[in-house]
Amino acid sequence: MVYPMSDPVLNFIEQQASARQSQLLAYLHDLLAAQLGLEAKIRYRIPFYYRHSWICYLNPVPNEGVELAFTRGNELSNAQGLLSSAGRKQVYGIVLHDPATVSEAALLEVLNEAILLDESVPYASRRKQAGKSDPK
């Protein structure tokens, strides 16, 4: 089944070569968009989810997995121990191969913390700050 072009995220999910990745993407998309009310858009050819700024994105990875990556992951507590930096400084993520292997409650805790961070602490790009001159 092909979704109407009016929803590029659902088209992205449907077009995955792996049925397992399509199922994981559909599960996570439903969790992020329908249950948590995040807005989804395709950016850099993958689905990004945001409210005030980008919160997370879904990235298909080898071995039929999907990474749920948090754009401000370095600012999250990771109290659940789910997040991995994979050598990145800012983005942290969770690679899923089967939704049953991760507690949905723990996943929701990480997601709610990321949403709270987005709503309470405006994102300030360090790249933009480095280029500003002091207006004294």
Does the 8-120 domain belong in CATH 3.40.50.720? no
**What is residue 122's predicted lDDT score, i.e. its pLDDT?**
78
pTM for the complete prediction? Answer: 0.85
pLDDT in tens, 91-118: 999 999 988 888 899 999 999 999 999 9
Mean pLDDT by 10 residues, the chain (136 residues): 67 91 94 95 96 96 94 96 96 93 91 96 65 48
Distance set, CA 115 to CA 20, 30, 86, 90, 108 (Å): 27, 16, 22, 16, 10
Tally DSSP H helices, then E strands, for the chain.
4, 5
CA 14 to CA 92: how far, in whole Å?
Answer: 26
**What is residue 125's predicted lDDT score, i.e. its pLDDT?**
67
CA 91 to CA 85: how far, in whole Å?
Answer: 6
